[in-house]
């Protein structure tokens, strides 16, 4: 699990989005950011989470937040995921796990009774000054926007 804490400066990041373009933390300078890490495109829990964020996207915009998702999936997989579910936000491909490791969301977890290495579903709420305001580690995929807006 992440060693980052509320009040820490959010780690810088740079990655490739669904369009093959470079997207970096500096692109969000002066903006509030919901940065959500999720295990895999087009899987039930991840789809539920992404669609919940999609359905509440106007609320994020009204509160001045940008929303960005990150997983190990390829940019092509992200494009398919966005197209299939009409997602209004960018998804970053982190196939080498650099951002995932910088945010400390990769590690051992239990899946179907077995220990595996994988991505821990985690959301970071980051202020316009780049400071972590909240970290959500127990994500409710069906009601994630409610967790974020608390």
**What are 5-23's pLDDT values in tens digits?**
999 999 999 999 999 999 9
- CA 143 to chain CA mean position, Å: 15
What is the residue-averaged pLDDT of the chain?
A: 96
pLDDT of residue 150: 83
Has 46 been annotated as catalytic? yes
pTM: predicted TM-score of the whole model, two decimal places: 0.95
Helix and strand numbers (H, E) in the chain are: 5, 9
- Name, in order, each residue with C-beta under 8 angstroms of 48's C-beta and a sequence gap of 6 or more: 141, 142
Secondary structure, 3-state, 45-56? HHHHHHHHHHHC
Calpha distance 134→43 (Å, rounded): 25
pLDDT of residue 112: 81
Among 46, 82, 92, 139, the active-site one is 46
Domains by residue range for the chain, with CATH:
32-149 (3.40.30.10)
pLDDT of residue 2: 82
pLDDT string in tens for the chain (150-residue length): 789 999 999 999 999 999 999 999 999 999 999 999 999 999 999 999 999 999 999 999 999 999 999 999 999 999 999 999 999 999 999 999 999 999 999 998 887 888 989 999 999 999 999 999 999 999 999 999 999 998
| 40 contacts 33 by C-beta, under 8 angstroms | no
Calpha distance 9→42 (Å, rounded): 31
């Amino acid at each position: 699990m992440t060693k980052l804490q509320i009040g820490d400066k959010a780690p810088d990041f740079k990655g490739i989005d669904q369009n093959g373009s470079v997207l970096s933390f500096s692109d969000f300078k002066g903006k509030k950011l919901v940065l959500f890490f999720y295990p895999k495109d087009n899987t039930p829990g991840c789809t539920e989470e992404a669609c919940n964020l999609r359905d509440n996207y106007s609320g994020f915009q009204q509160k001045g937040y940008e929303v960005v998702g990150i997983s190990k999936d390829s940019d092509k997989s992200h494009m398919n995921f966005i197209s299939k579910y009409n997602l209004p936000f960018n998804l970053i491909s982190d196939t080498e796990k650099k951002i995932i490791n910088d945010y400390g969301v990769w590690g051992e977890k239990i899946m179907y009774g077995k220990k595996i290495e994988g991505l821990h579903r985690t959301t970071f709420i980051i202020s316009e000054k780049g400071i972590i305001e909240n970290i959500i580690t127990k994500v409710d995929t069906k009601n994630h926007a409610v967790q974020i807006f608390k």
